[in-house]
């Protein structure tokens, strides 16, 4: 957040862009324990109607959480986060997370952000994103 200034409705969160490779999807499967073959096995993924393997929704959500946490100044600032997984993110594509402040609680100072994420293919992969950021202690 901008130092020395109270965040206001309309403030934009700096965008965070990450390219997600198949190697990263494999690393995420190992680290998270989610080894669903739609993320790991292209043939299996095509068999269930996907264009190939897809990134874990939770990997995309984790990148969205990072975008918020970076702007807010720490993981523990993120009090709430939600989104809809609208379109798959495919390996090799970049995801860009954006957001802006839509409400400031006048009593607690908590901020509500509206968020979304788009892929480098131009798909809105995460929609209806919303986060609540705790104020400074």
Active site residues: 34, 39, 54, 57
CA 102 to the chain's CA centroid: 17
Stretch in the footprint of other proteins (CB under 8 A) among 3-11, 32-40, 97-105, 115-123: 32-40
Between CA 130 and CA 24 the distance in angstroms is 25
CA-CA distances (angstroms) from residue 81 to 4, 7, 84, 116? 25, 18, 11, 11
Candidate list 34, 52, 120, 123; residue touching other proteins; CB under 8 A: 34
- Does residue 123 bind other proteins (CB under 8 A)? no
Stretch in the footprint of other proteins (CB under 8 A) among 6-14, 106-114, 116-124, 126-134: 126-134
The least distance separating other proteins from the CB of residue 29, rounded to whole angstroms, comes to 8
Between CA 88 and CA 92 the distance in angstroms is 12
CB atoms within 10 A of CB 92: 12
Query: Under rule CB under 8 A, which residues in 81-110 are in contact with other proteins?
Result: 81-85
HSE (side-chain half, CA atoms, 13 Å) at 45: 18
Candidate list 55, 65, 90, 95; residue touching other proteins; CB under 8 A: 65
The label of the residue with tokens 């969205």 reads 64
The residues binding other proteins (CB under 8 A) are 18, 24, 27-28, 30-34, 36, 48-49, 57-59, 61-63, 65-66, 69-70, 74-76, 78-85, 128, 130, 132
């Amino acid at each position: 957040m901008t130092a020395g200034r109270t965040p206001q409705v309309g403030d934009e969160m700096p965008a965070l862009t990450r390219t997600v490779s198949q190697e990263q999807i494999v690393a995420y499967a190992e680290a998270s324990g989610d080894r669903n073959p739609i993320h790991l096995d292209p043939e299996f993924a095509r068999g269930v109607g996907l264009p190939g393997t897809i990134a874990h929704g939770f990997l995309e959500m984790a990148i969205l959480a990072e975008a918020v946490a970076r702007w807010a100044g720490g993981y523990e600032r993120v009090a709430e986060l939600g989104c809809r997984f609208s379109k798959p993110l495919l390996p090799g594509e970049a995801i860009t997370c954006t957001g802006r402040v839509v409400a400031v609680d006048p009593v607690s100072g908590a901020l509500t952000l509206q968020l979304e994420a788009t892929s480098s293919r131009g798909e809105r992969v995460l929609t209806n994103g919303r986060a609540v950021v705790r104020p400074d202690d």
